[in-house]
Amino acid sequence: MKVRQLIMQSMIIAGLSLAGAWNVDSANAKVAFAVKGPFGTVNGTFSGLKATIRFDDKDLAGSSVKASIDANTVSTGVGLRNHHLKTEEQYLNTDKYPQITFQSKKIEKAADGFKAIGDLTLKDVTKPVEIPFTFTPNGGVGEFKGQFTIKREDYNIGKTGGTIGDMITITLDVPVKK
């Protein structure tokens, strides 16, 4: 009888440790960016998002996000621009800085949903960011949506001043499943 109780307790504990664990649907996740350029807004995307997401709106202290994306997947729809963004030292320089990462420090309730507070690392520069987001669950699947801005000069992207806008808007649309 005691062995059975121990097995049941172990199963319950294992189930609790998995509560709130979400797997990213990388093929359908969208990581987009927009920045003002000399001839209008430049829009682009990154693909292949990898993330470990633990999220439970009733246990925000136990919730966390650790995410990375391959900087070499940058795409603006213009081959020459993509090449320029990947190879130039003043832009992403993907050979030297292949990953863009985010690690949350905490997740909090916000007026319109939640916010992940943590560190964004781009080109070996790590800065604190807040990512406001919403989460729409639907049984064993769900969707995280968020948007935030970064100052491009904080991450050594492009030259100071010039014709490129100061702020880069990043939009996230991340489908997940249990």
pLDDT of the residue at 163: 83
pLDDT at position 50 over 70? yes
- Higher per-residue pLDDT: 170 or 2: 170
- pLDDT tens-place string over residues 85-103: 999 888 999 999 999 999 9
Give the length of the chain.
Answer: 178
pLDDT of the residue at 2: 55
Q: Which domains does the chain have, with CATH numbers?
A: 20-177 (2.40.128.110)
pLDDT of the residue at 15: 41
- Calculate mean pLDDT across residues 132-161: 94
pLDDT of the residue at 13: 42
One-letter-per-residue 3-state SS of the chain: CHHHHHHHHHHHHHHHHHCCEEEECCCCCEEEEEEEECCEEEEEEECCCEEEEECCCCCHHHCEEEEEEEHHHCECCCHHHHHHHHHCCCCCCCCCCCEEEEEEEEEEEECCEEEEEEEEEECCEEEEEEEEEEEEEECCEEEEEEEEEEEHHHHCCCCCCCCCCCEEEEEEEEEEEC
48-77 exposure pattern, b = at least 16 Cβ within 10 A, e = fewer: ebebebbbeeeeeeebbbebbbebbbbebe
Measure CA 128 to chain center. Answer: 13
- Residue 42 CA to residue 34 CA, distance in Å, equals 6
pTM to 2 decimal places: 0.87
Tokens of 103: 């690690």
pLDDT at position 17 over 50? no
- Calculate mean pLDDT across residues 7-35: 72
Least confident of 4-13, 56-65, 78-87, 141-150: 4-13
- Calculate mean pLDDT across residues 112-132: 97
Count CA atoms within 13 Å of residue 9 on its CB side.
6
- Calculate mean pLDDT across residues 144-171: 92
pLDDT of the residue at 6: 45
Q: How high does pLDDT run on average in the chain?
A: 90
- Higher per-residue pLDDT: 122 or 38: 122
pLDDT of the residue at 162: 76
